[in-house]
Chains A and B, each alone.
Chain A
Amino acid sequence: MIEMVRELMDLLGIDRGRLELQWVSSAEGARFAEIVTSFTHRIMELGKSSLGVAA
């Protein structure tokens, strides 16, 4: 399913890196923080998406 959504994002011209799916148990606080932090960094690097600005 996630790969299908990524393919749809390719067609829409939205960077596929903007989507991430990870399963984290409630006992894994540190891992949760790590994933969210690295995803936030990735989005910052990608910058503004074309959504709403393109024709």
Chain B
Amino acid sequence: MNIGESINLYKTYYCLDCGVCTGSCPVSRVLPTFSPRLIVEKALLQMGDELLSDRDLWSCLTCGRCYQRCPTKIDFPEFMRNLREEAIKRGLAPALAHHGMLQSVMEFQAEGVRQKKTDWAREAGKIADRGEVFYFVGCMPYFDVIFRDIGVDSLSIGRSVIKILNAAGVTPVVSDQEACCGHDMLWNGNPETFKKLAAKNIELIRGSGAKKVVFSCPEGYYTFQHHYPQYFGELGFEVVHFFDYVQQMIADGALKLSDGAGTYTFHDPCRLGRMAKIYDSPRAILGSLAGEGFREMERNRENAVCCGTTGWANCSSGSKQIQAERIREARATGARTLVTACPKCRIHLSCALTSMEEMDLEVKDLTTLISESMR
């Protein structure tokens, strides 16, 4: 899709030039040259070539804070995604984080490999090859290896999910051949690899006999729920976020959580909150396990800020500033534990925390917290 078509699709010509987007943008606060408003204006003024070659094209976190507040509802993140697709076609690319290791894993999966990545799940509990419920693990087995050096054991999230599902009498399907959901490829402007990954996953899940797919990763959840149907139509299975599932299990009496001591605050991931609109179930769960110990940050729900980088690209000093500010905000609530709900948010905030030694704060995923509070 060229720039003109993107303008028409996302109706950016409705821009009122009010600047609420740039005023809301966490990147603009730390990188003053970056301005969503200016990007929209430049596209309208047919300065597309300049836009596509500008590094700022890749600075957008696609966090959707601008879209949330835009009076004419211009979907800036999706507009950026389209511009990125066009930039990639012209041979421009983002600066990949972690030496492009994660994108390489995704490319391998898209080409087809025989993965062996479920040993941890077998150790954690009961899993099956076929069944009603499919647990879509996502990229955590790879994160677990890559981010071990900053002390993040990513798979603790997956182990907790299996433990909780088992306790509620569910034996989920966990597959070696599951591929990355394609979220990052899509937002990196590479829809071709996204489509290959998505097609593999859809075929795999259909073949497993599952009627319900449970996600602990908000990116996977949102991508399956929002983008898969756009490219592949009706999926033939239900897409459920783990927190909604847990909330239902609590309501049904299948899961009981104890009132934990401690003080917690919650970081809304962009994909879970603004995009998938899941704000309530994590809070309901936190309320039932922490009670009075749960405290909101100043910027919460629709107003929450991104964890600083997206799609394993363009991690910069700006990202670090956003993360450090978020950590200070979390600590200012008086909470000792910053609860996250996305494996990437957890990695990014933990990474920033390693250089903030004075900060008496722990970063923990909600899933882990639920499993620790089970009785």
Q: Taking beta carbons and an 8 Å cutoff, which residues of A are in contact with B?
A: 4-5, 7-8, 10-14, 50-55
* Chain B nearest Cβ from A35, distance in angstroms: 24
* Chain B nearest Cβ from A55, distance in angstroms: 6
Q: Do B142 and A11 touch (CB < 8 A)?
A: yes
B235 within 8 A of A: no
Q: Do A11 and B146 touch (CB < 8 A)?
A: no
Q: Which residue of B lies closest to A50 (CB)?
A: B114
Q: Do A54 and B108 touch (CB < 8 A)?
A: no
Q: Taking beta carbons and an 8 Å cutoff, which residues of B are in contact with A?
A: 101, 105, 108-109, 111-117, 141-142, 145-146, 176-177, 200
In the complex, chain B residues whose CB is within 8 Å of the CB of A11: 115-117, 141-142, 145
In the complex, chain A residues whose CB is within 8 Å of the CB of B142: 8, 11
Q: Do B117 and A54 touch (CB < 8 A)?
A: no
In the complex, chain A residues whose CB is within 8 Å of the CB of B109: 12
20 contacts between A and B (CB under 8 A): A5-B101, A7-B145, A8-B101, A8-B145, A8-B146, A11-B115, A11-B142, A12-B108, A12-B109, A13-B113, A13-B114, A13-B115, A13-B176, A14-B108, A51-B108, A52-B111, A53-B112, A55-B112, A55-B114, A55-B177
Out of A4, A5, A7, A14, which one reaches B113, CB within 8 Å? A14
* Chain B nearest Cβ from A44, distance in angstroms: 20
Specify the main secondary structure of chain B where it touches its partner.
helix
Q: Which residue of B lies closest to A54 (CB)?
A: B114
Out of B117, B146, B200, which one reaches A55, CB within 8 Å? B200
In the complex, chain B residues whose CB is within 8 Å of the CB of A14: 108, 113
Q: Which residue of B lies closest to A8 (CB)?
A: B145
* Chain B nearest Cβ from A52, distance in angstroms: 5
A32 to B240, CA, bound (A): 55
In the complex, chain A residues whose CB is within 8 Å of the CB of B112: 50-55
In the complex, chain B residues whose CB is within 8 Å of the CB of A53: 112
Given A8-B146, A11-B142: A51 and B105 interface contact (C-beta under 8 Å) = no
In the complex, chain A residues whose CB is within 8 Å of the CB of B116: 10-11, 13
In the complex, chain B residues whose CB is within 8 Å of the CB of A7: 145
Q: Which residue of B lies closest to A13 (CB)?
A: B114
In the complex, chain B residues whose CB is within 8 Å of the CB of A50: 112-114
Q: Which residue of A lies closest to B148 (CB)?
A: A4
In the complex, chain A residues whose CB is within 8 Å of the CB of B114: 13, 50, 54-55
A5 to B176, CA, bound (A): 19
* Chain A nearest Cβ from B339, distance in angstroms: 28
* Chain A nearest Cβ from B278, distance in angstroms: 29
Q: Do B105 and A8 touch (CB < 8 A)?
A: yes
A4 to B147, CA, bound (A): 10
A54 to B113, CA, bound (A): 5
Q: Which residue of B lies closest to A11 (CB)?
A: B117
In the complex, chain B residues whose CB is within 8 Å of the CB of A4: 145-146
Q: Which 3 pairs across A and B sit closest by C-beta, in order of nearness?
A: A13-B114, A54-B114, A11-B117
Q: Which residue of A lies closest to B176 (CB)?
A: A13
Out of A5, A8, A51, which one reaches B111, CB within 8 Å? A51
Q: Do A12 and B105 touch (CB < 8 A)?
A: yes
* Chain A nearest Cβ from B235, distance in angstroms: 19
